[in-house]
Amino acid sequence: MLSLAERIILFLLVLATIVLFFIPFFKRLLIIVRCQYANRFGSLLKRFFYTLSRVFLQLCTLKNERPWSGVAHVLVFYGALVFDTMAVNHILEGYIDGFSLFGSSTAGKIFMASVDFFAVAVLLGVIFFAGRRFLLKLPSYNTGSRDSALIYTFISLSVITYIVFSMFSVTANPASNPWARISRFLAERFNLMALSASELNLNLKITYWLHAIVVFSFISYVPHSKYFHLFAGPVNLFFRKDQPSAMIRPADLETAENFGAEKATDFTWKDALDSIACVECGRCQDVCPAFQSGKAFSPKMIILNLEKHLLSEYKAIRGKKTEQLPALIPLVFTEEEIWACTTCGACLHVCPFEIEPPDKLIDLRQNLVLSQGRFPAELQTFFHSLETHSNPWGWPASQRALLAEEFRVKTIEENPEAEYLLWLGCFGSYDEQGKKIAGAMIEILKAADISFAILGDRERCCGDSARRLGNEYLFQNLARENLKTLAGLNKINGLITFCPHGYNTLKNEYPALLDLFPDFSLEEKKRIKSLRIISHLEFLAELLKEKKLSFGDKLKDSTLADGSYAIHDSCYYGRHNGLLEQPRQILSAVLPEDLKELKNSKEHTFCCGAGGGLMWLEEKPDQRVNHLRAQEIIQNGSRLLVTSCPFCLTMLQDGLKDKGADLIKVMDIAQIIAANLYNSEQS
């Protein structure tokens, strides 16, 4: 098709495109390798198949919070694969007349027919996305409008120029592409057969070059745009966190040169990859409780601002001139947004490429707290109370021991043969509402004839809030004390907790600390790692399954049978640790009324506002997350709300009270079971 001179020009064009593509590609790669090391290389085969399924089946974007966007993305994605294949064919066709990657086989004909189909599909997808961005002007698309416009233009021109080229191709050679129905239809519609052979060849060559120039321009632009996620996104999925999503990597405080992230290269290479893989879809922003409550915070902007900063500081990063890098706060991030995240994990769940904004915010908090001593004033008392009394309120540890007498339960010293340890936590030990949940759990365990004990004054705060507020030093001190205590308990088979935050910390984060503590023997480490940490959701479900609980015909609390009930899924039980079906199974066995799901439920649950340590921070009255959730509960219409977290119970009771909805009863699932027990009905 092309002359020798044109073939040389085509070769130079291909070469220039490769250079223009890989220069920014390697620039980003260099930024990634200059950041801190993170071990994301375990289970490589598992990672590979996970990524393969998420990308090629498009499970990464086919999520139920944006079903139509997912479908549109599927059309564009598969269309891109088809047209990428045709781009290769197009180049080779310039050197070999009539070249076809698939020849005249049936498979080749089917593929060529699919090109016509995907040409239409891609254009429909582009129209859909352009309409959402430029006509509806959705808040989630509040960035990258110029970039999106260029991308939509390039995609549309790539498709249109190919179809026009195909029209002249099938006209010049009627035997080619017999299943290219759309191209043939358009060629007939525009009466291209009326053109002379020379006119056909001239137009064929012009449209060939038009399509080639558009495609090569698009390829050259891709690494400069958010469309680079086509390459970085799957890589980011491959290196996803293969642990529970709420887990925080432990910091070796003894050997660390600095704490957390003060400058750009203090982040890990995975953090940098996260920023490069972002597609700016805004799904994370849509579901973020901090953003929805009006705070100056968006997980999307955290990632985008990090990417912009990394690129702007490329020269210093490339030259390893760390001293020339500016501090991230306040140049890149503000303190207000650093302290706004509840670590609820909603952003992690909806992100197509599983980008991790909370990890970066906790790194920034760590630096502020441990290196600079900068944190909200109200945390001064909170940290001091944990340091001196091992609980957030600063009450004496001896008060934990009083619960043994109050609840008529034995401590582990009094019952060393106990099968289970009931972890009361700070709420169960000191908070009035938390004590009610603890009492309910004790009543249930006794009714099921379970051998158990509590730690009493040997129990310390698990440190969840301290860690998520950036005080890793305090967290590790609390963890060390608790781990030493647990290591000495040789008889218990499991530890039961009714706090999702304690559950996540004890089960997922404590074992990861052991390698940092040289004063633990191998036997102690083995003992701790073998200890089964059980949520009260799991334990209650097991008791019901084994029929170890008896229920009366009438509820002790008659209000529990008055109308439908709703469930508030805790972020740390549900989204972070996958305990979603257990509360529904438990309640369906004991409550006579119907479950009426909240608008945001199960994996899409909406945070109560207490996570990430924000339980101990003050919110502005017009920016309270629990008010948003309370309003949703009110709109649900149920008179009973069931929770499974003392944090959630407190926050939602307060939110409903503020909204004037005191009549909606809020109870922990353990309280529901205890109120339904045959034994408690007789007492």
Q: What is the per-residue pLDDT across 71-119, written as a single tens digit (0 to 9) for each? A: 999 999 999 888 888 888 888 888 888 777 777 777 777 887 788 888 9
β-bridge partners, 565: 595, 640
pLDDT tens digits, 273-284: 999 999 999 999
Distance CA 578, CA 571 (A): 9
231 shares its domain with 290:
no
Is residue 256, in this structure, part of any structural domain at all?
Answer: no
pLDDT tens digits, 275-320: 999 999 999 999 999 999 999 999 999 999 999 999 999 999 999 9
CB-CB neighbours of 439 under 10 Å = 18
At 472, which CATH number?
Answer: 3.40.50
602-613: average pLDDT: 96
Band (pLDDT 50/70/90 cuts) for residue 256 is confident
**Considering only CA atoms, which of 158, 230, 166 is closest in space to residue 192?**
166
- Contact between 159 and 122 under an 8 Å Cβ cutoff? The reply is yes
CB-CB neighbours of 412 under 10 Å = 22
Band (pLDDT 50/70/90 cuts) for residue 2 is confident
Q: What is the pLDDT of residue 681?
A: 40
Is residue 163, in this structure, part of any structural domain at all?
Answer: yes
Distance CA 399, CA 626 (A): 30
519 shares its domain with 577:
no
- Contact between 541 and 585 under an 8 Å Cβ cutoff? The reply is yes
Q: Which of 310, 340, 371 is the last residue of a domain?
A: 371
Q: Which residue has the tokens 């029209």?
A: 167
- Residue 273 identity (one-letter amino acid): L
Rounded to a whole number of angstroms, the distance between the first and last alpha carbons of the chain is 94
Band (pLDDT 50/70/90 cuts) for residue 560 is low
337 shares its domain with 412:
no
Distance CA 540, CA 534 (A): 10
**Percentage of the chain surpassing pLDDT 90?**
76
pLDDT at 682 over 60: no
135-153: average pLDDT: 91
328 shares its domain with 400:
no
Distance CA 573, CA 497 (A): 11
Distance CA 202, CA 208 (A): 10
308 shares its domain with 223:
no
Selected residue with higher pLDDT from 533 and 106: 533
Total tally of structural domains belonging to the chain: 4
Is residue 431, in this structure, part of any structural domain at all?
Answer: yes
Distance CA 170, CA 118 (A): 18
Is residue 102, in this structure, part of any structural domain at all?
Answer: yes
pLDDT at 641 over 60: yes
pLDDT at 556 over 60: no
93-107, 582-596, 600-614, 629-643: the lowest-pLDDT one: 93-107
Selected residue with higher pLDDT from 399 and 462: 462
Is residue 493, in this structure, part of any structural domain at all?
Answer: yes
Distance CA 359, CA 364 (A): 9
Mean pLDDT, the chain, rounded, equals: 92
- Contact between 639 and 666 under an 8 Å Cβ cutoff? The reply is no
Is residue 448, in this structure, part of any structural domain at all?
Answer: yes
24-33, 390-399, 624-633: the lowest-pLDDT one: 390-399
Distance CA 126, CA 4 (A): 37
In the numeric block, which tokens belong to residue 81? Answer: 């694969």
- Contact between 352 and 55 under an 8 Å Cβ cutoff? The reply is no
Q: Which of 309, 342, 371 is the last residue of a domain?
A: 371
In the numeric block, which tokens belong to residue 49? Answer: 């198949």
Q: What is the pLDDT of residue 454?
A: 96
pLDDT tens digits, 355-365: 999 999 999 99
- Contact between 567 and 601 under an 8 Å Cβ cutoff? The reply is yes
**Percentage of the chain surpassing pLDDT 70?**
98
pLDDT tens digits, 418-441: 999 999 999 999 999 999 999 999
- Contact between 677 and 549 under an 8 Å Cβ cutoff? The reply is yes
Band (pLDDT 50/70/90 cuts) for residue 553 is low
In the numeric block, which tokens belong to residue 568? Answer: 């508030």
Task: For the full predicted model, state whether its pTM sits above 0.85.
Answer: yes
pLDDT at 199 over 80: yes
Highest-confidence range of 61-65, 212-216, 550-554, by mean pLDDT?
Answer: 212-216
137 shares its domain with 187:
yes
577 shares its domain with 535:
no
- Residue 329 identity (one-letter amino acid): I
Distance CA 231, CA 246 (A): 26
Distance CA 615, CA 517 (A): 29
The answer for 19, left when phi > 0, alpha when psi is -120 to 50, beta otherwise, is: alpha
Q: What is the pLDDT of residue 397?
A: 85
Q: What is the pLDDT of residue 585?
A: 94
5-17: average pLDDT: 93
Is residue 423, in this structure, part of any structural domain at all?
Answer: yes
Q: What is the pLDDT of residue 83?
A: 87
363 shares its domain with 396:
no
361 shares its domain with 408:
no
Q: What is the pLDDT of residue 664?
A: 95
193-222: average pLDDT: 92
pLDDT tens digits, 318-353: 999 999 999 999 999 999 999 999 999 999 999 999
Is residue 22, in this structure, part of any structural domain at all?
Answer: no
Band (pLDDT 50/70/90 cuts) for residue 680 is very low
Selected residue with higher pLDDT from 179 and 341: 341
At 307, which CATH number?
Answer: 1.10.1060.10
Q: What is the pLDDT of residue 683?
A: 39
* DSSP type of residue 551: B
pLDDT at 530 over 50: yes
At 106, which CATH number?
Answer: 1.20.950
Q: What is the pLDDT of residue 96?
A: 87
CB-CB neighbours of 324 under 10 Å = 12
Q: Which domain holds residue 450?
A: 386-545
103 shares its domain with 174:
yes
331 shares its domain with 444:
no
Q: What is the pLDDT of residue 559?
A: 59
Q: What is the pLDDT of residue 341?
A: 97
579-605: average pLDDT: 93
pLDDT at 405 over 90: no
Q: Which of 338, 371, 404 is the last residue of a domain?
A: 371
Q: Which residue has the tokens 């529901």?
A: 672
660-682: average pLDDT: 84
658 shares its domain with 580:
yes
- Residue 671 identity (one-letter amino acid): Q
pLDDT at 554 over 70: no
Distance CA 268, CA 32 (A): 8
pLDDT at 679 over 70: no
